[in-house]
Amino acid sequence: MLIGNGDGFVSCACGRRHWGLFGAAGLLLSDPRRGVLLQHRAAWTHEGGSWALPGGAVQPDETSAQAAARETEEETAVPGEAFRVLAQRADEHGSWRYTTVLATALGDAARPRVANAESTALRWVPPGEVADYPLHSGFAAAWPELRDQLGRRLVLLVDAATVIDARSDGRSRDRAGAVARLRDRLAVLAGMGVSAADVGLDGVAGAAHWSWWPQVVLVAEGAAAGTEPAAGVAVVGPGADGPGADGDAGIVAAARTVRAGGPGDHLVVVTADPRLRDGADATEVLDPAAVLDPAALWRLLAACAPA
Ligand SMILES: [Zn+2]
């Protein structure tokens, strides 16, 4: 065991004691066919005998997502390659924090088995049956909000033209080069994640405590439409809504495609187009509140990788 690790109890401002000197994290792994993975906690653990998520104390050199993945592999033998992380929810107590990391299983690669003494059983449980289990109190309190976000991604649909034009150097002739540079910076952002407040979703019911590793869809026109994708970033042309479907019509068509692929996903469109920002012909696919100004995106990009 490491000296100075995160194992230990914290006397919390809420009046209770919690495990994890640097907070704790758990993995909510969901699979559309099997349900969510629950752990039956060993009798000797805190609230032993209850059902909850694999997880444990965050170590000082870890992010919450890294801690949740490490603990899950230790307890269930499911490696990080078997799932994709989508989002996380922080339950802030002031002097302590519990982070639930939401992930979706990739194919059949997740084959959980009891791998250490912290669990007595592991079980895939349909979401509708979770509340019937004797749950750990913290998980029980969070479950309704967690269930509401199962499998839901944040998709950032980025209108490359207006985002690049929002920068002083945006009118250079090398349009494809500018799109490629934007793509690279969006890939960094996708890997680091964004909070609800970052993308204007903090006012959306149930979304305030969440952050996401977004899927970015970069909509590029002309020669730039052939830009190669990058990790977390797809590049598409303006949606095929007939001839002349560029500008706002192209973005709306691309948004419609995203919506069809994930009806429950959070969709945020980054554009300076005033017609989209007013939600004129886009209300069927866009909540006007989910349109982000390019300046807000550039601030996020600058914060995670200064130009
Ligand atoms: Zn507390």
> Following DSSP, what letter does each residue of the chain receive, concatenated?
--TT-S-SEEE-TTSSEEE-BTBEEEEEEEETTTEEEEEEE-TTSTTTT-EE-SEEEPPTT--HHHHHHHHHHHHH---GGGEEEEEEEEEE-SS-EEEEEEEEE-TT-------STTEEEEEEE-GGGGGGS-B-HHHHHHHHHHHHTTTPPEEEEEEHHHHHHTSTTTT-S-HHHHHHHHHHHHHHHHHH-EETTTTT-TTSTTTTTEEE-PEEEEE--GGGGGPPPBTTEEEEPSP-SSTT--HHHHHHHHHHHHHHH-TTSEEEEE---HHHHTTTTTTTT--GGGEE-HHHHHHHHHHHS--
What is the domain partition of the chain in residue ranges?
Answer: 9-148, 154-304
97 CA from centroid of ligand 1 (Å): 8
Q: What is the mean pLDDT of the chain?
A: 88
pLDDT of residue 245: 47
195 CA from centroid of ligand 1 (Å): 22
46 CA from centroid of ligand 1 (Å): 14
281 CA from centroid of ligand 1 (Å): 46
15 CA from centroid of ligand 1 (Å): 6
Residue-wise pLDDT tens digits, 159-218? 999 999 888 655 667 888 999 999 999 999 999 999 999 998 888 878 889 999 999 999
Residue-wise pLDDT tens digits, 98-109? 999 999 999 888
The average pLDDT across 151-166 equals 92
16 CA from centroid of ligand 1 (Å): 6
91 CA from centroid of ligand 1 (Å): 9
139 CA from centroid of ligand 1 (Å): 13
User: 110 vs 30, 36, 72, 144, 273, CA distance in Å?
Assistant: 10, 12, 11, 24, 43
Query: What's the chain's Rg over C-alpha atoms?
Result: 21
At residue 259 the predicted structure's pLDDT band, cuts being 50, 70 and 90, is: confident
Query: What is the CATH architecture assignment of 154-304?
Result: 3-Layer(aba) Sandwich (3.40)
187 CA from centroid of ligand 1 (Å): 35
What would the CATH number be for the domain defined by 9-148? Answer: 3.90.79.10
The average pLDDT across 94-117 equals 93
Do 154-304 and 9-148 fall under one CATH topology? Answer: no
